[in-house]
Amino acid sequence: MLILEKPYVSETLIRTAVEKNYPVLRNAMSEQLAAAGHALTLYDDGAFASAYRQRHKLYCMSENGLGWISQHIDDPTLLEKINLLKNKAAFRRICRTLYPDYFFEEVAISELEKVDAATLPYPVVLKPSVGFLSVGVYMVENREDWKKAVSDIRLKFAEASAQFPSFVVGTSHFLIEKMIRGEEYAVDAYFDEEGSPVTLNIYHHRFASATDTSDRLYCSSKALFDQYGQPFTDFLKATNQVIGLRNFPMHIEFRIENGIALPIEINPLRFAGFCLNELQTHISGLHPVVAYFENKRIGKEEMWKGHETDTFSFLVLEKPAGCPADAHFNKEKFKADFSDVLEIREVKNANVGVAATAFTRTDTAHLDELDRLLHLDMREYMR
């Protein structure tokens, strides 16, 4: 059962939903797709909620669908699990037994200015316990950074808090936690009806520099599964002994620090967004959503058969600054410049700021292409 939502639904997922006749919630996004000629099986609110009671498997394209679930799905256990994973402080408390030395502290927003900055184990990250207002994430290296962050939060909070009831404002909290350094990885997985984890994707989120925060390049390979498949699976098993998830997909972000996989956050009821999860479809032919709905598993050796030494990549190709509104991505030039471009998807949504996404395969003879992709000057690929 699918809840299709903004900002993006891939043609591959749409075709899969049509071919498999998956129930799709009728909303603005799915009606727009149906009007464009896609023969989706649309269910109104009541029918969709009723079908869930029979199937007990949901997949949301984005966080936007979680609000509908909270209002229409009468399943206290499901709602409890979603809220538990969305609340970063609650998630950290779950992980406390796995990482007893990991520092975190939850503080009411009204108490932030009372925190003794001298006692914090810098560097730390300051972020909302649950997504709230426009206040973001702050990287805090020292006491001066702490003062600036708290001041910025105070200004933004004062401006926006009038939009919310006092009980919402009064109960908002921030999380102070140890800054996790090291390489960033991500996992798409689901828990089956018995609560056993099934890993579908492992990505290495590569960056061009220490200050790069873009989503330009995600890579996957058999070597990555060989190295980190078991540690990530061990984390999922240990976590689920506390949470007790069943029939539940998720996307988890990790950093590897001193050989230990430390989770950054979990996104419930979905895999990686912006069609990143469909990298697996290019690797093995299996769509992750089909794997989840139909309880399919694919072993590592079968998954990478014939591609044991290849690297498969997903790219987010941003529109360069100052790019004209009517400019288009030059697919032909991109294909000519790299050895094996599997697919290019132009993004026509002007609000996203992305020209295209792409899937590539890189063999060992062309590994230098990965660095070229990271440092790509997008001005050369717009016309």
- What's the pLDDT band for 376 if we cut at 50, 70, 90? very high
- What's the pLDDT band for 167 if we cut at 50, 70, 90? very low
Whole-number mean pLDDT of the chain?
A: 89
CATH number of 183-381: 3.30.470.20
53: left (phi over 0), alpha (psi -120 to 50) or beta: alpha
Q: Given this model, what pLDDT does residue 24 score?
A: 98
Q: Given this model, what pLDDT does residue 278 score?
A: 97
- Let me know: does 47 contact 58? Beta carbons within 8 Å: no
Question: Any idea which of 1-5, 53-57, 122-126, 129-133 has the lowest mean pLDDT?
Answer: 129-133
Q: How far apart are alpha carbons 149 and 346 in whole angstroms? A: 37
Strand partners, 106: 175
Q: Given this model, what pLDDT does residue 171 score?
A: 47
Going edge to edge, which strands form the sheet with 341-346?
260-268, 248-257, 183-191, 197-206, 217-221, 311-318, 354-362, 341-346
- CATH superfamily membership of 97-178: ATP-grasp fold, A domain (3.30.1490.20)
- Let me know: does 30 contact 239? Beta carbons within 8 Å: no
What's the whole-number mean pLDDT along residues 111-138? 81
Q: Which of 199, 269, 205 is nearest to 235 (CA)?
A: 199
- What's the pLDDT band for 178 if we cut at 50, 70, 90? confident
- What's the pLDDT band for 79 if we cut at 50, 70, 90? very high
- Let me know: does 303 contact 362? Beta carbons within 8 Å: no
**Residue 56: how many other CB atoms lie within 10 Å:** 14
Two tokens, residue 295: 């309880």
Q: Which of 332, 80, 375 is nearest to 214 (CA)?
A: 375
Contacts of 171 (CB under 8 A, 6+ apart): 108
Q: Given this model, what pLDDT does residue 3 score?
A: 97
**Residue 74: how many other CB atoms lie within 10 Å:** 9
What's the whole-number mean pLDDT along residues 302-310? 96
Q: Given this model, what pLDDT does residue 63 score?
A: 77
pLDDT at 378 over 90: yes
**125-to-15, 106, 137, 140, 176 alpha-carbon distances in Å:** 41, 12, 7, 6, 6
Going edge to edge, which strands form the sheet with 2-3?
41-43, 23-25, 2-3, 59-60
195: left (phi over 0), alpha (psi -120 to 50) or beta: left
* DSSP 8-state secondary structure symbol assigned to residue 276: G
Q: Given this model, what pLDDT does residue 343 score?
A: 97
What's the whole-number mean pLDDT along residues 125-145? 78
State pTM to two decimals: 0.85
Which residue is associated with the tokens 């018995």? 194
Sorted by where each begins, the domain ranges of the chain are: 2-74, 97-178, 183-381
Q: How far apart are alpha carbons 177 and 120 in whole angstroms? A: 9
- What's the pLDDT band for 170 if we cut at 50, 70, 90? very low
- Let me know: does 102 contact 262? Beta carbons within 8 Å: yes
Helices (H), ranges, the chain? 11-20, 28-35, 45-55, 66-72, 76-86, 88-95, 143-160, 166-170, 222-243, 279-284, 288-293, 300-303, 331-337, 368-374
Q: How far apart are alpha carbons 333 and 337 in whole angstroms? A: 6
- The model's pLDDT over 204-241, given as tens digits with 9 standing for 90+, comes to 999 988 778 788 999 999 999 999 999 999 989 988 99
pLDDT at 300 over 70: yes
- What's the pLDDT band for 40 if we cut at 50, 70, 90? very high
pLDDT at 13 over 90: yes
Question: Any idea which of 128-132, 146-150, 263-267, 273-277 has the lowest mean pLDDT?
Answer: 128-132
Q: Regarding predicted confidence, which is higher, 209 or 307?
A: 307
What percent of the chain stands above pLDDT 70?
Answer: 94
- What's the pLDDT band for 135 if we cut at 50, 70, 90? low
According to the per-residue pLDDT averaged within each range, which of 77-86, 89-98, 252-261 is highest?
Answer: 77-86
- Let me know: does 187 contact 227? Beta carbons within 8 Å: no
CA 196 to chain centre: 21
pLDDT at 23 over 90: yes
What percent of the chain stands above pLDDT 90?
Answer: 62
SS3 assignment, position 197: strand
- What's the pLDDT band for 247 if we cut at 50, 70, 90? very high
Q: How far apart are alpha carbons 55 and 348 in whole angstroms? A: 34
Which residue is associated with the tokens 């996307």? 251
> CA torsion, points 372, 201, 4, 247, in degrees to nearest 10?
-170
